[in-house]
């Protein structure tokens, strides 16, 4: 299937990227400039900015409560942005429909970013907030049952790594992992995955851009050979929580996500791999207003058993 016409039209309207090295500060400012005004955002019962006091320090989180209830399952969400972009604000419009459609309380994590914060600071923050949810559950009205992790793109990397790290630590409270077009193999070997060649040019995120976009993270000490950096390199996937792996047809990183789902199944882990046709990388963040892509939220609901 060709790229969805509304996505293709949008990509054609974008100016050429500036030449020269990437400027993370300027790119973050540009992202924040496109955040929707509060009045235009999906209303929920409550949205609260709080500070999670964790073992690694104080971490800003935004808590989305879909409806008034006595208790809730919790989904901890990690935003994308190649480990150096993104914030609670830029991904607010992803967290809100996640809460509404699943009925879970969503905790979005404002983790530390590269290059200012060296590896593993961002991962440490994400894991610490999951542990904080379990420890502070009564204050969050957590039901003590569903505790899911989810993320898009690099946030999906963190979700997979957090699930693995928790398993290795003997922390078995995570019930689901939800990975939206995750980046799972950060050595970007074009000979290993056909999607890096098939989707190299013309679909928004391009293969040639993967190394420079991820350089801030990798240069901060993240080793692509480390399974906590490239989760697909983990040799033993047994015992990990059930997974929903969402991929996009025209994403250079499509095949590594689908391989991870296949390897999870081979390890006896319940794993659903769902490829969205006509979509490119980032479609949950940028194009979930298109009806067929908004369905990712109801699919997430169904995977969590909330339908």
Active site residues: 153, 251, 281
**127-151 residues labelled b (16+ CB within 10 A) or e (exposed):** bbbbbbbbeebeebebbeebbbbbb
Query: Is 253 within 8 Å of 157 (Cβ atoms)?
Result: no
């Amino acid at each position: 299937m060709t790229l969805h016409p509304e996505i293709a039209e949008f990509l054609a309207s974008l100016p050429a990227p500036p030449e020269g090295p990437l400027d993370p500060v300027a790119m973050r400012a540009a992202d924040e400039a496109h955040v929707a005004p509060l009045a235009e955002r999906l209303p929920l019962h409550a949205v609260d900015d709080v500070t999670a006091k964790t073992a690694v320090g104080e971490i800003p989180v935004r808590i989305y409560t879909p409806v008034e209830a006595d208790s809730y399952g919790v989904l901890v969400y990690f935003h994308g942005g190649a480990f150096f972009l993104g914030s609670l604000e830029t991904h607010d419009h992803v967290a809100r429909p996640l809460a509404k459609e699943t009925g879970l309380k969503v905790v979005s994590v404002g983790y530390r970013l590269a290059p200012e914060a060296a590896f593993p600071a961002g991962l440490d923050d994400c894991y610490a907030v999951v542990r904080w949810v379990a420890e502070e559950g009564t204050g969050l009205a957590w039901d003590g049952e569903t505790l899911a992790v989810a993320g898009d793109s690099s946030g999906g990397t963190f979700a997979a790594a957090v699930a693995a790290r928790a398993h290795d630590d003997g922390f078995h409270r995570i019930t689901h992992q939800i990975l939206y077009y995750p980046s799972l193999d950060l050595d970007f070997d074009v000979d290993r995955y056909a999607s890096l060649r098939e989707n190299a040019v013309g679909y928004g995120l391009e293969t040639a851009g993967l190394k420079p976009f991820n350089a801030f993270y990798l240069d901060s000490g993240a080793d692509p050979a480390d399974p906590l950096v490239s989760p697909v390199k983990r040799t033993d996937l047994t015992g990990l929580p059930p997974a929903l792996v969402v991929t996009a047809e025209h994403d250079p990183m499509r095949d590594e996500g689908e391989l991870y789902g296949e390897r999870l199944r081979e390890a006896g882990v319940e794993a659903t791999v769902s490829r969205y046709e006509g979509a490119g990388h980032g479609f949950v963040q940028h194009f979930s207003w298109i009806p067929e892509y908004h369905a990712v939220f109801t699919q997430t609901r169904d995977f969590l058993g909330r339908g």
